[in-house]
Structure formats: structure tokens, C-alpha cells
A and B are shown apart, each in its own frame.
Chain A
Amino acid sequence: MQNVHRLAVLGAGHVGPVIARLALRAGYPVAIAASGDPDDIALITELVIPGAEPRWASDAAADADTVVLAMPLHRFGDVNPGLLAGKLVIDAMNYWPASDGVLAAFEDGASNGHGSSEIVARRLAGSAVVKALNHIGYHELEDRARPAGAPDRRAAGVAGDDPAAVAAVADLTDRIGYDPVRLDSLRAGRVLQPGGPVFGQVLTLPEFERAAYEDVRSWS
């Protein structure tokens, strides 16, 4: 899989605009879509995400090679998997029942030891799903981004089953301002979830690796 060239961000709430701005700053063309008419988010785009293009979700996804899922997880069911077929999909969502309600599929998955992105990937069989950009709070994600080599740069996890897809998202993560930490399966991406050892934390690379790998090791 090639690197990321053109992004579609689905979700214009808390998280989507932050990811869109980071990607724009790194030089990627970005289209953003909410659940409906792009006219509804035209003003938001102009003032809060200048440079992004507001579009219908289907158009944004069709023209992008990479689609970021940045809607509340309970709205994921509204996404048509066909739109994402053949795309690299970044799952930036979290299963957070206390905030978004209990979702049976994710509850069952968790009790079987599955990561939430594995459940997402099941619905998106035609896409390469990577879990990333989900574990640093949207209120900090932009503020803490730093160019490569900066002494106070922080790390961000990138988890997926397809190594080429993980490499592409790791490259994107690096370009938007974080040292990527690759995890070689969506299951291992559980460390990035709410309740996991790095969720909500903004850690340096050594701190992140220590926390994440120790946790992964403890499962085997």
C-alpha cells in the first residue's frame, strides 16, 4: 500500500476538525463530511478548518485514498461500507459506553477480548482498517504535535493487521507531529482504547513503548 495522499474525514464534531487541521498543516488535501448536507458545515469549515473542503460523505470518500472515521461510534452503523471499499480506513473512534451508550456488538467483542477496531473492521471487509489518532484527547492532539526531532515530541499508536496499511498511517502520524508506535494487529490496538495504558495520556516514545509493550506482553 502506498502512503496517504488525499484524506476524507467523516465527522465534523469534536475530533474530525482537529484531525483535519493537523492533516492540512502537514500538506494533505482534506475533504470533511458530517452526516448530511455539506452546506450545513460550510461556515464551520471556513472558520474552524480553513483549507478543507466540505462535501457529502460519499463524494469525500470516493475521491480519497484514506478515510478517517471521526464520528461517535454509535453513528458508525450509518456508514455505508461500500463507500470505503478499497480504501485505507483510520478508525479514530472509541467505544466509551459511559459517554455514547452501550452498543451490543462492541460489548460482546470486548467480552471476547476483541478490540473495538476489530469489530469496526468486520463491517469493512473491503477496507484496510488501522486504529490510530484515537487515544490522545481532541483538546490536546493539536497543541502537542511537534515536528520530527523536536525534543518534546510525543508518541502516538498505530495498530493494524495489514503491515503496509500500518506503515502508511505511521508515515501520516509522523508527518502530522507524533512519533508513530506500530502495533502489529488490531487486537494489540486494545492498548490504545479507553481504560488501556496509554489512553488519554500524551507520552514520549520511551514512555509509550514501556506502557504499551508491557501491557501487550502481559496478555501472552
Chain B
Amino acid sequence: MTYTFGLDTFGDRESGADGTPLSHAQTIRNVVEEGVFAEQAGLDFFGIGEHHTDYFPMPAGDVALAAIAARTERIRLGSAVTVLSSDDPVRVFQRYSTLDAVSGGRAEVILGRGSSIESFPLFGYDLADYEDLFEEKATLFAELLKGGPVTWDGKTRAPLLNQDVVPHLESGPFPAWIGVGGNPQSVIRAARLGLSLALAIIGGPPARFAAYSELFRRALEKFGQPPRPVLVHSPGHVAATDEQAKAEFWPRWREVIALVAEERGFAVPTEASFDRETGPDGALYVGSPETVADKIAANLRALGASRFDLKYGLPGLTHDQLMTAIELYGRRVVPRVRELLG
């Protein structure tokens, strides 16, 4: 199997060395630098997840990706994820086919409902409709990706009649993935639409997703689709030692989860739960290059996945800390994972 390795960010709002939060604008400029540096560090993919909050000020990641595209040659660039339910599939297709043009064929998208749902009220959608919204819009997106005029009718946007949607793709469909957080019916949907499977594993033991890869493979067969890859997206942080990585990550993790917990009603992490998640059976990849590499290799193998995207950064980390993490991930972790996977 050929393995590839990426980095994802949510535009986590960075802090200066003195702990003062940087402006949204400076954070976005730093993300562009990090994307450019990701290519220099040897990585295959750089993804930006759509968010609409003060601590993740990144609602238009495709614009930042275009800036990265202008300064890079090889790295693939995509969303991680696009909250398709509250967007227009035609516009998403147009933005990413434009990115594909700008970057010379390096665009990708990961489509999701999004585990952060702040875009629903912002754009006037009712959360109670999310299943119908996502189902319809993902189906239309899969049609658009095939190229050629599209005829479509549904409840969530204006109908299309033999509509030519531009810009045309230069070299066929770009990679499109469906982000799945644990609902097996979403795995079936990805297979039915002929899209690839992105497993977002942000808590609990990753090995429990092994059955999902097999489910995906069998469902692709059932729907007469060719084989498609599986990627794993998980949060983490790399520093010189386990102790340093945890010391940098933990206070920021507790802070951001506490914020999200207030919005969504779940528990604030404890040191015990953090130790569990950073241990071999947890979902967080926090540690030295050796620790993180061992865990990535073990989980790619267990899950039958060919790509690993590390969601790096957290609100309150500094640009320097993130650049170091990117360098260690690209130059130390990834070569070691390749070695381990032989």
C-alpha cells in the first residue's frame, strides 16, 4: 500500500510568545506560512477545516488554500472539512474546481456535516434538518464532480436543468471524501456516492473503526464502485519529548474542550482522561516523534487506511510551536511511520 501523510488545521487562533492572542488576520497569515512550510517538510497534504468562531476564525479556508497554492509546487490542498450541509454544493464545487485550476490539479475536499455546527444558524439552516441537507447536497456534489451538464431536483436548493457548471475540471474529478465520525450509515453513503472515506477519530479507541473500513470495502462492492481509499484524521501535537508535547498541548486542549463542552453539554477533560487519550489506545497523537510514529503506524495498519492527517495546533499555541511540530512531523514522524509500515 502507498501511504500519504497530511496536516489539517481549523485556523486555531494562535498566541504570541507572551500568551496574548494574535488577531484573526495574523492567525490566517500564519496558517498560510504553515501550509507552505508543510510542503518543505515533505508532507503530501494540507487541509483547512471550516469554522466560524473566535477561537477558530477560518470560515473561508479555500481562500487561504489558494494563497498556499501560489507558493507551492507539489503538496495537495483541501478542505478538512467543508460543512456541506450549510453550503451550496454548486458553490463548493466552483470554489474547489477553481483551487484545482490555480494549483494545477492539487485540490481535494472532505465533505462533512461538521462536528462544529455554528454555520447552521449563521446561514439560516435548521439543525434538525441536517440528515436531509447532507444527503441531498452530497448526492448533488458527487454529480457535479463527474463533470458535464447536471440535471438535479431536490428540496434544499434551486433545481438544475442540464446546467453547465464552470470551471470545467482539467483532469477529471479531484479527490473527494466524506468525513465520518462514527455513524455506519455515513460509511454506506460514501460508498453509494463513490466518494472516499475519511474517518474522523477524535476520542476513544481508534481500533473500534476497523469494522468501518471493511464495511466501506464491502459497500463499494455492493454498489458496483471501484475501490476507494480510507484516511484517518485525528488531533495531536509533536515536540522533542513526550513531556514537552503534553505540557504544551494539555492546557490548551482542556481550554478548548471546556469551551466546546459549554456549547454542547459534554464533560471537560481531566488529566486522567487526557492520559487515556494520549496513550496507545486513545485518539490523540501527542508526544515525541517516536511515540507519535508508533501510534500512527499501528492505527493505519489496524484500520486498513492509506492516509493519515494530523490535525495540528490548538487555540493558544504559538506559531513557533506549530512550525516545530510541522517540522518534526514531516521530517521525523512520517519517515519513521514509512519505515515501520515497510
Q: Say yes or no for A206: interface residue by CB 8 A criterion.
A: no
A47 in contact with B218 given A98-B117, A137-B204, A137-B266 (CB within 8 Å): yes
Contact residues in A for B208 (Cβ distance below 8 Å): 139, 142-143
A47 in contact with B264 given A99-B127, A140-B203, A143-B205 (CB within 8 Å): no
Min C-beta distance of B274 to chain A, whole Å: 13
Among B224-252, those with CB < 8 Å from A are: none
Min C-beta distance of B65 to chain A, whole Å: 28
Min C-beta distance of B218 to chain A, whole Å: 6
Q: Is there contact, CB below 8 Å, between A44 and B182?
A: no
Q: Which of A41, A102, A140, A195 contacts B265 (CB 8 A)?
A: A195
| In the bound complex, CA of A98 to CA of B203 (Å) | 19
Q: Say yes or no for A6: interface residue by CB 8 A criterion.
A: no
Looking at B12-20, B66-74, B146-154, B183-191, the stretch in contact with chain A turns out to be: B183-191
| In the bound complex, CA of A100 to CA of B126 (Å) | 9
Q: Say yes or no for B340: interface residue by CB 8 A criterion.
A: no
Contact residues in B for A74 (Cβ distance below 8 Å): 128
- Per-residue contact bits, chain B 204-220, to A (CB 8 Å; 1 contact, 0 not): 11001001101100110
- Per-residue contact bits, chain B 171-209, to A (CB 8 Å; 1 contact, 0 not): 000000000011111011000000000000001110010
| In the bound complex, CA of A139 to CA of B120 (Å) | 25
Q: Is there contact, CB below 8 Å, between B182 and A139?
A: yes
Number of A-B contacts (CB under 8 A): 84
Contact residues in B for A44 (Cβ distance below 8 Å): 184-185, 187-188, 215
Min C-beta distance of A42 to chain B, whole Å: 10
Q: Is there contact, CB below 8 Å, between A143 and B204?
A: yes
Q: Is there contact, CB below 8 Å, between B267 and A101?
A: no
Q: Is there contact, CB below 8 Å, between A101 and B126?
A: yes
| In the bound complex, CA of A17 to CA of B211 (Å) | 12
Contact residues in A for B273 (Cβ distance below 8 Å): 202
User: 9 additional contacts, CB 8 Å, given A13-B185, A94-B265?
Assistant: A12-B184, A43-B215, A101-B126, A101-B130, A139-B208, A193-B265, A194-B264, A194-B266, A200-B261
Q: List 14 A-B contacts (CB under 8 A).
A: A17-B184, A43-B215, A48-B212, A98-B117, A99-B117, A102-B128, A139-B182, A139-B283, A140-B203, A194-B266, A199-B266, A200-B266, A200-B267, A201-B267
